[in-house]
Amino acid sequence: DTEVTQTPKHLVMGMTNKKSLKCEQHMGHRAMYWYKQKAKKPPELMFVYSYEKLSINESVPSRFSPECPNSSLLNLHLHALQPEDSALYLCASSQEGGTVNQPQHFGDGTRLSIL
Amino acid sequence: GENVEQHPSTLSVQEGDSAVIKCTYSDSASNYFPWYKQELGKRPQLIIDIRSNVGEKKDQRIAVTLNKTAKHFSLHITETQPEDSAVYFCAASFQKLVFGTGTRLLVSP
């Protein structure tokens, strides 16, 4: 079953709130990703975890804090976000760690709105 | 870094026609080229991919061609159906996956 599950599906938060996005996969994949997608734009890479270690941070502001508690879970902690951070946040996973040159399977995303 | 250009931005065809979407990439080290289909409000879904050691790959009505010398790759959909309507993204990868700007395909019955 090629499935990546993201919760919540929708999130509305104020600029002073702290919230977390969650991503889970049970395919035994060893690489996990966070992407940000604005309306009518392509996904943009934020972070890559390989074997539960952060391997790529695309110069993302510190108000976004990723965490990989184990090989199946990926979190994105949010704090003091700005209105321009409103977007669809996509999680993805792929089978092998150490390389991004392989199929990535996406979740349905969390649609985030910052008031 | 890698830059991926995609054309056209919008493509309208009649059911049964063929559709072609073209992409160019800048980093000659890129060696993996997937194509994703994203329906409105849904996740990007991988529909086909190709590696740099292969020139062409086909899966039923979908085919992808790669010209490494020209740094071009294309998606070909034959016998289009209304359910093919979606946004299609090409991507190129070496150290990270970089997506093209997307093509909105509309297939009219």
pLDDT digits (tens, 9 = 90+) for B93-105: 988 899 999 999 9
Name A18's bridge partners.
A79
Task: Read off φ and ψ for residue A99, nearest 5 degrees.
Answer: -150, 140
Decide if pLDDT at A76 tops 80. yes
Chain A: closest CA distance from residue B6 (Å): 11
Name B64's bridge partners.
B57, B75
* B31 touches A at CB < 8 Å: yes
- Given pLDDT bands bounded at 50, 70 and 90, which one contains residue A2? low
* B80 touches A at CB < 8 Å: no
What is the pLDDT averaged over residues A23-41? 95
- Given pLDDT bands bounded at 50, 70 and 90, which one contains residue B36? very high
Decide if pLDDT at A96 tops 90. no
What is the pLDDT averaged over residues B19-40? 96
* A25 touches B at CB < 8 Å: no
What DSSP state is assigned to residue A27? Answer: S
Cα B43 from Cα A11, distance rounded (Å): 17
List pLDDT tens digits, range A48-64. 999 999 999 999 999 99
Task: Read off φ and ψ for residue B18, nearest 5 degrees.
Answer: -95, 155
- Close Cβ partners of B4 (under 8 Å, ≥ 6 residues apart): B23, B24, B25, B26, B90, B91, B92, B98, B99, B100, B101
Cα A65 from Cα A63, distance rounded (Å): 6
* B65 touches A at CB < 8 Å: no
User: Per the CB < 8 Å rule, is A106 touching B45?
Assistant: yes
Closest to B43 in 3D by CA, of B87, B96, B98: B87
